[in-house]
A and B are shown apart, each in its own frame.
Chain A
Amino acid sequence: MNNGGGFGSHQKSLFGFDFILALMVLALCTIGILFIYSSGINSDNFQSSSEYIKQTVFCIIGIIASVAVLFIDYSRFRNLAVPLYILSVITLVFLLIFSPLINGSKSWIGIGGFGIQPSEFVKITAILILARFIESRQKEISALKVFAQAFLLMLLPAALVLMQPDLGTASVYFIIFIAMIYAGGGSPRYVVFTLIVVLLTLIITVLPHWEVLIAQRRVPLLELINNGVYFASFLSFWFLIMILSVIGYVIYKKPVFNKIAFFSAAVFISLILGKIGGSVLKDYQIKRLIVFLDPRVDPYGSGYHILQSLTVIGSGGLTGKGFMNGTLGKYDFLPQRSTDFIFSTIAEEWGFAGCLIVLLLFFGILTKIALAAREAKDIFGRMVCIGVFAVIFYHLMINIGMTIGIMPITGIPLIFVSYGGSSLIASLISVALVLNIRMRRFSI
């Protein structure tokens, strides 16, 4: 059933073009350009920024690139996946060595007057290589070995992006991995195990800072992590439980031992990783991760953005203040209002109703991509759709979540909407991949 797409599929393909998906994506891009325009207007009602023109140009470039992608049978990307992946890794290494620091991170390549952020495009190549890998290992997909190999495949680019340092973008690779390996048939045991370890590690990393910054009192239980002796004993305790339950399982074959071993191993690993995370991450990075829990503890520092964003969104009401009539966004209250916080401007000027429109568009796009995944003629196509699904969903969840104060600040843009050339072009290309897969869904 693999490699079904031959020459013949080309004639049928036009009828399979998903106009609705394409229109919904273009609608979001248009809303993006409109609000980039609106946020460029300053308090004297002058347009003080040319970002909206640039974004329009990026959008056109993205559409042209997408059309080009549509004409190539996606099966060809199966063979291109490996060289693209190698090229991506080389580019990321190159960036770390040669790229100058721009705004605190080594993520830009300058070409002439333009800058490109390669990590945005590497997301696509990561999806392609993982889709190819899962397809080729379909028979043993639930094995631990395959799971681990897929993990390493994503860890390499993620680690390189993490060193730029860009924690937010690096976390995207993890989501791609989890979504694709789960949908691709990986064992739920391993998926759940990985999720538990990541969540626990995050919590253990930030807990000491949480105690100081948010709780602002001593939490006796946290001595288990903060105090070196207690921590060592706590760690040994879980290690012992793990060993005992493994022995118990081997001797008595009772499933309950298996479950205990599973859980204690997760805790044991998370404790170690969390301790490492706490020492590797800088104080201000951890602060940005948890300040959303109570932005008032640092109203002039890392909580500033969140408080201002909440005020701006809250003042929007049901229908908003009208396009370009927002006041708060304009008077420099809201930093980064065309990039990370563009959703706040939309919420102020179009209100709750406008937010619903944006959210519905996103939900419609995700549903359409899920449908394309279901109808794809081969596993490679399916997996690519799932990867794109995961990237879009993760971006909107983290970005919108950040602006409404329920997610940490990570600097992830709102996909299709936020100002930024590399991000926009890369996301349009990924949608083109999905359209491509849907167009060629009938195997002939």
Chain B
Amino acid sequence: MESNSQNSGRMFHNRLFVLLGVAGVIFLLIVVRLFVLQIVNQTQYSRRAVNLTFREIRIPALRGDILDRNNTLLAANRNSFSVKIIPADVPPEQMEEVLANLSYALDIPPETIRKKVPSSLYRSYSPIEIVSGVGLSDVMFVAEHGDLYPGVFLDNHAIRSYPGVGSLFHVIGYINNINQNELRFLYNQGYRSYSQIGKSGVEKEYDMLLKGTDGKRFQSVDARGRTIVGEQIANIPPETGKTLVLTVDRRIQRLCEHALGERTGSIIVMKPATGEILAMTSYPWIDPNVFYQNDNQSKLSDYYNDRKNPFFNRCVSAVYPPASTFKAVMAAMILEEGLVPESYTVNCTGRVFIGDRYFHCEKRSGHGRLNLHSAVSESCNVYFYTIANEFSDISMIAEYAGLFALGEKSFIDLPEEASGTLPTPEWKLRQYSRRWIGGDTVNMAIGQGYLTVTPLQMANAYAMILNDGKIYKPHVLKAVRDSESGRIISETEPEVIHSVDFSPDTFRKIRSALRETCVSGTAKNVLTTKLVKVAGKTGTGQIAGVSDNYASWFISYAPYDAPPEEQVLVVVLIEPQADKEYQWWTPFAANIIYQGIFGNQNFYEAVTALRWQWLFPDLEKYKDE
């Protein structure tokens, strides 16, 4: 045992020696290599270090354009010039003069320039930007008198521009510098701290397609970082981002924009048979071009401080009680479950006593006896209170709301979609620690209470009525095109995201009740357009928790008697304030939109054709659009 361990000790010493020997050989190799590099070839390398080192310069890629469905330009890149100075290239005795000249030529206060070029940087070789984002005319003088401005040069780069974007802000969005948080998640997708990134809308949703790939230029520079002219080594050209063609039609968007006017709310125009969004307006909105202007601070802070939040896309991110528009869902339930025969009538006296209190109808004097068809067109609450209370329960109503895809996202290709709330007794217990009561059920039957939806969800639910049970995925991207050749790379195909197996009769009966609404019901005498037959449903609901806030709906489609492929669906929502101002406006807006779409007229022509000039005292300003 003793000799064995001595043996192993000697063996260990030998092997340790081998390891140390290997290390010694490698050390020797490193030293020899360093000697060759630093002593033998030193002159060669130091000359190269002075003259021939090259630096990688990024060539930013152009961002792809965004077009509407008729190829109208919605987002593009605009040439913008910036004036830069390399202080070390200015002879020191001329510095004051050059700065003063710049201040005069560019019309900038001398203090501003001096703040950008402090004397501590007079020996710096890094360029300093004096102004940016100005047009060629503003820098013309500097460009033509280069000899007056040693060390000053012009730089041309592209900035984003949204010509005539108007209320399309929420669909298109805007871009800005990437922030720390985004960078952490997106570093691996090729984003860097200097990247610009889409912050909302299509610019955010399809940023990867739009941004393109930066190129590189390898430039010879000397040891102090100065460019050696004419010594360009190699180029990897940048690749422009893809061109996106949207489903929106800017003509229809303009109609919606003016029809909504300055009323807080939103309008969606959609093709029910494909899910294409033809227009999407949400008021208030902002002008994204402000982000790229000089001296934009006060305007931006106005936007950020606006209590109505103009950044918020009310079409997909805001939730409201569906109010009476929910009666279409209730009608489907009554018909599909056969709760009562169609001829069954309820006598509306203006109110009904359920549980421990009275529930009122919109019409305080009462509708008298009415069946399902007229209960929908007259929007009688008492009918639906009674049916819900006597023949159904919350689980059945919630099930049917779910069958119409309420409470779930449609995954439209826009960011920040809300899912609304589809309440159930379990949900209420979890959320409020209170039991579900009978009053909650009858409230939900008329689309009030805890149930909330987005305007987009209601558009989808009504599209299902038109498509006999199918909902197509709503989308704003129509096609992706190569920016150079214009070749179409991909096109969005209609995709069914939700379908139910109701009898076609159910849908036909609801559609006929919706038509009745516009002929003799709550929306009669408003849909005056002669071009198409309109069908739809009104609704006014109180926004829960905010006592003075209302949501006023009109969901409609036209032509009534055409197949869904030829129909358009229009959802108008307005948030009237305390005095219920403009609560009545929603069907009026829809009427103008239908007149414009089907008469191929602009806003001015449509209003004139409808003889509604009296509604718009300042109509003349829309004349030349």
Contact partner of B187 (CB less than 8 A), chosen from A103, A327, A366, A405, is: A103
Q: For residue A355, which residues in chain B have a CB less than 8 angstroms away from its CB?
A: 31, 34, 38
Q: Considering the complex, give the chain A residue whose CB is closest to the CB of B5.
A: A1
- Given known contacts A311-B48, A333-B53, A366 and B23 CB-to-CB distance under 8 angstroms: yes
Q: For residue A36, which residues in chain B have a CB less than 8 angstroms away from its CB?
A: none
Interface centre among B33, B49, B223, by most A CB within 10 Å? B49
Is A359 within 8 A of B31, CB to CB? Answer: yes
Is A43 within 8 A of B126, CB to CB? Answer: yes
Q: For residue A239, which residues in chain B have a CB less than 8 angstroms away from its CB?
A: none
The answer, yes or no, to whether A317 is at the interface (CB within 8 Å) is yes
Q: Considering the complex, give the chain A residue whose CB is closest to the CB of B50.
A: A315
The answer, yes or no, to whether B263 is at the interface (CB within 8 Å) is no
Interface residues of B in 35-86 (CB under 8 A from A): 35, 37-39, 41-42, 44-46, 48-49, 53, 55-56
Is A352 within 8 A of B35, CB to CB? Answer: yes
Spot the interface stretch: B14-22, B250-258, B313-321, B535-543.
Answer: B14-22
The answer, yes or no, to whether B427 is at the interface (CB within 8 Å) is no
Tell me how far the C-beta of A127 lies from the nearest C-beta in chain B, rounded to whole angstroms.
15
Q: For residue A370, which residues in chain B have a CB less than 8 angstroms away from its CB?
A: 16, 19-20
Q: For residue A404, which residues in chain B have a CB less than 8 angstroms away from its CB?
A: 30, 33-34, 37
The answer, yes or no, to whether B614 is at the interface (CB within 8 Å) is no
Q: For residue A185, which residues in chain B have a CB less than 8 angstroms away from its CB?
A: 8, 11-12, 15
The answer, yes or no, to whether B145 is at the interface (CB within 8 Å) is no
The answer, yes or no, to whether B124 is at the interface (CB within 8 Å) is yes
Is A352 within 8 A of B46, CB to CB? Answer: no
Is B45 within 8 A of A367, CB to CB? Answer: no
The answer, yes or no, to whether A331 is at the interface (CB within 8 Å) is yes
Q: For residue A352, which residues in chain B have a CB less than 8 angstroms away from its CB?
A: 34-35, 38-39
- Given known contacts A300-B216, A347-B38, A182 and B33 CB-to-CB distance under 8 angstroms: no
Is A393 within 8 A of B55, CB to CB? Answer: no
Is B35 within 8 A of A315, CB to CB? Answer: no
Contact partner of B37 (CB less than 8 A), chosen from A314, A356, A401, is: A314
* Distance, CA A397 to CA B18, complexed state (A): 17
Q: For residue A374, which residues in chain B have a CB less than 8 angstroms away from its CB?
A: 12-13, 16
Q: For residue A1, which residues in chain B have a CB less than 8 angstroms away from its CB?
A: 5
The answer, yes or no, to whether A337 is at the interface (CB within 8 Å) is no
The answer, yes or no, to whether B136 is at the interface (CB within 8 Å) is no
Is B187 within 8 A of A308, CB to CB? Answer: no
Is B15 within 8 A of A317, CB to CB? Answer: no
* Distance, CA A370 to CA B17, complexed state (A): 9
The answer, yes or no, to whether B436 is at the interface (CB within 8 Å) is no
The answer, yes or no, to whether B496 is at the interface (CB within 8 Å) is no
Q: Considering the complex, give the chain B residue whose CB is closest to the CB of A333.
A: B53
The answer, yes or no, to whether A237 is at the interface (CB within 8 Å) is no
Is A182 within 8 A of B15, CB to CB? Answer: yes
Q: For residue B56, which residues in chain A have a CB less than 8 angstroms away from its CB?
A: 300, 304
* Distance, CA A310 to CA B34, complexed state (A): 10
Q: For residue A382, which residues in chain B have a CB less than 8 angstroms away from its CB?
A: 12
The answer, yes or no, to whether B188 is at the interface (CB within 8 Å) is yes
Is B19 within 8 A of A389, CB to CB? Answer: yes
Interface residues of B in 113-135 (CB under 8 A from A): 121, 124-126
The answer, yes or no, to whether B224 is at the interface (CB within 8 Å) is yes
* Distance, CA A401 to CA B30, complexed state (A): 7
Is B16 within 8 A of A373, CB to CB? Answer: yes
The answer, yes or no, to whether A332 is at the interface (CB within 8 Å) is yes
Interface residues of A in 281-311 (CB under 8 A from B): 300, 304, 308, 310-311
Interface centre among B20, B39, B125, by most A CB within 10 Å? B20
Is B188 within 8 A of A101, CB to CB? Answer: yes
Tell me how far the C-beta of A337 lies from the nearest C-beta in chain B, rounded to whole angstroms.
14
The answer, yes or no, to whether B27 is at the interface (CB within 8 Å) is yes
Interface centre among B39, B41, B218, by most A CB within 10 Å? B39
* Distance, CA A356 to CA B30, complexed state (A): 10
Tell me how far the C-beta of A324 lies from the nearest C-beta in chain B, rounded to whole angstroms.
15
The answer, yes or no, to whether A212 is at the interface (CB within 8 Å) is no
Q: For residue B223, which residues in chain A have a CB less than 8 angstroms away from its CB?
A: 327-328, 331
Q: Considering the complex, give the chain B residue whose CB is closest to the CB of A366.
A: B23
Q: For residue A315, which residues in chain B have a CB less than 8 angstroms away from its CB?
A: 42, 45-46, 48-49
The answer, yes or no, to whether A183 is at the interface (CB within 8 Å) is yes
Q: Considering the complex, give the chain B residue whose CB is closest to the CB of A101.
A: B188
Is B45 within 8 A of A366, CB to CB? Answer: no
Q: For residue B225, which residues in chain A have a CB less than 8 angstroms away from its CB?
A: 43, 331-332
- Given known contacts A44-B121, A185-B8, A317 and B16 CB-to-CB distance under 8 angstroms: no
The answer, yes or no, to whether A426 is at the interface (CB within 8 Å) is no
Q: Considering the complex, give the chain B residue whose CB is closest to the CB of A318.
A: B39
Interface residues of A in 351-395 (CB under 8 A from B): 351-352, 355-356, 359, 362-363, 366-367, 370, 373-374, 382, 386, 389-390, 393
Q: For residue A44, which residues in chain B have a CB less than 8 angstroms away from its CB?
A: 121, 124, 126
The answer, yes or no, to whether A400 is at the interface (CB within 8 Å) is yes
Contact partner of A100 (CB less than 8 A), chosen from B11, B35, B185, B218, is: B185
Q: For residue B372, which residues in chain A have a CB less than 8 angstroms away from its CB?
A: none
Q: Considering the complex, give the chain B residue whose CB is closest to the CB of A317.
A: B42
Q: For residue B45, which residues in chain A have a CB less than 8 angstroms away from its CB?
A: 310-311, 313-315
Is B33 within 8 A of A328, CB to CB? Answer: no
* Distance, CA A304 to CA B13, complexed state (A): 44
Q: For residue A100, which residues in chain B have a CB less than 8 angstroms away from its CB?
A: 184-185
Tell me how far the C-beta of A37 lies from the nearest C-beta in chain B, rounded to whole angstroms.
20
The answer, yes or no, to whether B429 is at the interface (CB within 8 Å) is no
Q: Considering the complex, give the chain B residue whose CB is closest to the CB of A371.
A: B16
Tell me how far the C-beta of B31 lies from the nearest C-beta in chain A, rounded to whole angstroms.
6
Is A104 within 8 A of B8, CB to CB? Answer: no
* Distance, CA A179 to CA B12, complexed state (A): 12
Interface centre among A183, A386, A389, by most B CB within 10 Å? A183
Tell me how far the C-beta of A74 lies from the nearest C-beta in chain B, rounded to whole angstroms.
18
Q: Considering the complex, give the chain B residue whose CB is closest to the CB of A188.
A: B15
Is B29 within 8 A of A43, CB to CB? Answer: no
* Distance, CA A310 to CA B45, complexed state (A): 8
Q: Considering the complex, give the chain A residue whose CB is closest to the CB of B218.
A: A300
The answer, yes or no, to whether A316 is at the interface (CB within 8 Å) is yes
The answer, yes or no, to whether B221 is at the interface (CB within 8 Å) is yes
Q: For residue A390, which residues in chain B have a CB less than 8 angstroms away from its CB?
A: 19
* Distance, CA A137 to CA B55, complexed state (A): 57
The answer, yes or no, to whether A312 is at the interface (CB within 8 Å) is yes
Tell me how far the C-beta of B611 lies from the nearest C-beta in chain A, rounded to whole angstroms.
62
Is B236 within 8 A of A300, CB to CB? Answer: yes
Tell me how far the C-beta of A24 lies from the nearest C-beta in chain B, rounded to whole angstroms.
15
Is A314 within 8 A of B216, CB to CB? Answer: no
Q: Considering the complex, give the chain A residue whose CB is closest to the CB of B26.
A: A397
Q: For residue A308, which residues in chain B have a CB less than 8 angstroms away from its CB?
A: 53
Q: For residue B184, which residues in chain A have a CB less than 8 angstroms away from its CB?
A: 100, 102
Is B48 within 8 A of A359, CB to CB? Answer: no
Is B27 within 8 A of A363, CB to CB? Answer: yes
The answer, yes or no, to whether B531 is at the interface (CB within 8 Å) is no
Is B42 within 8 A of A314, CB to CB? Answer: yes
Is A314 within 8 A of B49, CB to CB? Answer: yes
- CB-CB contacts of B125-154 with A at 8 A, as 1s and 0s? 110000000000000000000000000000
Is B30 within 8 A of A331, CB to CB? Answer: no
* Distance, CA A41 to CA B184, complexed state (A): 25
Interface centre among B5, B13, B19, B41, by most A CB within 10 Å? B19
Is A406 within 8 A of B33, CB to CB? Answer: yes
* Distance, CA A266 to CA B336, complexed state (A): 75
The answer, yes or no, to whether B290 is at the interface (CB within 8 Å) is no
Is B221 within 8 A of A331, CB to CB? Answer: yes
* Distance, CA A355 to CA B184, complexed state (A): 37
Tell me how far the C-beta of B563 lies from the nearest C-beta in chain A, rounded to whole angstroms.
49
For the A-B complex with A312-B49, A347-B34, A347-B38 known, give 10 more contacts whose Cβ atoms are closer than 8 Å: A101-B187, A183-B12, A183-B15, A300-B56, A313-B45, A314-B37, A331-B225, A359-B27, A367-B20, A390-B19
**28 A–B contact pairs at CB < 8 A?**
A43-B125, A44-B124, A100-B185, A101-B187, A102-B187, A103-B187, A103-B188, A138-B8, A182-B19, A311-B48, A313-B38, A314-B38, A314-B46, A314-B48, A314-B49, A317-B42, A318-B38, A318-B42, A328-B49, A328-B53, A332-B225, A347-B38, A355-B31, A355-B34, A359-B30, A366-B20, A390-B19, A405-B33
Closest 3 A/B residue pairs (Cβ) = A314-B45, A315-B49, A315-B46
